[in-house]
Structure 1
């Protein structure tokens, strides 16, 4: 499905923090600004192929006021341009949105999956408030008209007091977490790099342990999974093998490109609420 994106969006989208509906982000310490990188996008149900990024496209990430400060409302601006610097104005709707914007803190403790509105001239915007100063990485995930899934990323700096330093992420000893009234268990069919791995989520009621069988579609699918390497250089956005599944099982297929530690965020919807569950695994 294609959409001529000369339409200007007027809807404000709130920035998520480990789920939907929270406009604030926690931050890590340190500062910095990194280069723009193109990265692959992995889709379950399509042999887990990494879509070749459109190398001729560029993304610039900025704040409308020129800078962002902790605890002050700001607006993120993402501009997509071609190799000549001309704005790109034609995108395809991908899982109900023209752009998926992933924002993570340097230590990966803060995660958001939001959807900026297209404003014309290649520019998307979304308002937010950062709870802390520090370093964040932004991933613009989109599909240009007639092209393949593309992800462009960059580090940005938020002014203000940084959060207390957190311990380095470490693999979870047990892949079972409670989020609200739900218990989520994750199993992996393997833990080797460069081999297809199936991620299987089992979602149940935390008290009764009964499987939840009425999950609702989230962005057109039973769930979405975002995976980042510990250094935030490897990015995977994974869609389910069966997008119409309703639980309690949700399966995703992907391939980890390198050995190392990865953080995995699974997002699902139940009774109108999106919940996010993070896990950390080690790939050999």
Structure 2
């Protein structure tokens, strides 16, 4: 009898052990399907959402959209360029950090600096000053630009960029006034030029340059000019993209007008009287032309060069990307028979 009871006990113990193994899913190596959800939040073997696509989108964005130009905030701090001065909206300045523009690779590039330009922005600053201390409308004044690093030490070496060490762009608050000039280098990071302003008010000055061994950068600042202010106009898109200036009829066409997408700008330059295309445009700063683009609020700045710098007309093409929707004003600059002419257009980007 005791022997029979022992056999029953052994049999029941074996059955109990088998039941426990079954309940646990057969041991290691046979985890249930729900384990995949606990590990990564998605079913095991399912395609990975978002993560891979976001990484691609950011890489593409860094190489394209953001680097085409830069965004400028109220202090003169912008996207992927360098520094300027902090302003209070009235031209009063302090130091701030600023932006950059499109990259110039000698092939008419319209792209920009990406991470390199952003790093450049963080290590540079600029100051803009007038002698004897202020600028007055209608009077010649000496404008000085000082380029320094983040510690205030002068940046003394610069690369020649489209035949110049420094390009200076000046626009009025309503973008009705535009000037592109080239200060002389005086050494020790300082540039200077005599210039004038047509009316009192606020003007935005953009200093466009390439530090030795660095990437292209643009520093900007709002400055105040004394004198009677001119009548301000709201920047609106042109109804027709045909302008006549300096005896030239210039028609602009865009391959598209959507923010974040590459667009080709085509300037068709004709004689205003005969309507014949002008095929003997002369190089201006080493290229068939240059185009500067600003958003209506002057917070988006693009400086683009032609896709074919050796073109001679009648068509000159430029490629860029408008970073945001809104109204943009652009100035195309070309040279013919020794005369430089500037043609403005305003377009709306969706």
For this structure pair, what is the TM-score category when the shorter chain's length is used for normalisation? 0.7 to 0.9
Select the residue among 293, 312, 321 that pairs with 1:227.
Answer: 293
**CA-based RMSD:** 1.5
Map of 2:217 onto structure 1: 150
Map of 1:6 onto structure 2: none
Alpha-carbon distance between aligned partners in 2 of 1:127 and 1:101, rounded to the nearest angstrom: 12
Q: How many residues align?
A: 254
Unaligned runs of 5+ in 2: 1-88
Alpha-carbon distance between aligned partners in 1 of 2:310 and 2:289, rounded to the nearest angstrom: 9
Map of 1:12 onto structure 2: none
Alpha-carbon distance between aligned partners in 1 of 2:263 and 2:160, rounded to the nearest angstrom: 27
Alpha-carbon distance between aligned partners in 2 of 1:264 and 1:43, rounded to the nearest angstrom: 18
| Larger RCO (CA within 8 A; separation ≥ 6) | 1
Comparing both structures, which one devotes a greater share of its residues to helix? 2
Comparing both structures, which one devotes a greater share of its residues to strand? 1
1:37 aligns with 2:98: yes
Unaligned runs of 5+ in 1: 1-29
Residues 41 and 151 in structure 1, CA contact (< 8 A), matched pair in contact too: no
Select the residue among 182, 185, 199 that pairs with 1:115.
Answer: 182
1:250-276 deviations in Å (ceiling 9; x for gaps): 000001111110001000000000000
Residues 98 and 142 in structure 1, CA contact (< 8 A), matched pair in contact too: yes
Instruction: Select the structure of larger CA radius of gyration.
Output: 2
Alpha-carbon distance between aligned partners in 1 of 2:220 and 2:249, rounded to the nearest angstrom: 32
Alpha-carbon distance between aligned partners in 1 of 2:155 and 2:251, rounded to the nearest angstrom: 41
Map of 1:50 onto structure 2: 112
Residues 42 and 236 in structure 1, CA contact (< 8 A), matched pair in contact too: no
Residues 42 and 49 in structure 1, CA contact (< 8 A), matched pair in contact too: yes
Distance 1:94 1:47, change over 3 A: closer
Alpha-carbon distance between aligned partners in 1 of 2:234 and 2:344, rounded to the nearest angstrom: 15
Distance 1:36 1:69, change over 3 A: farther
Map of 1:71 onto structure 2: 138
TM-score (norm 1): 0.86
Map of 2:44 onto structure 1: none
1:39-78 deviations in Å (ceiling 9; x for gaps): 3225484663122251201011111211111122211110
Map of 2:339 onto structure 1: 273
Equivalent position SS for 1:199: strand
Alpha-carbon distance between aligned partners in 1 of 2:206 and 2:146, rounded to the nearest angstrom: 12
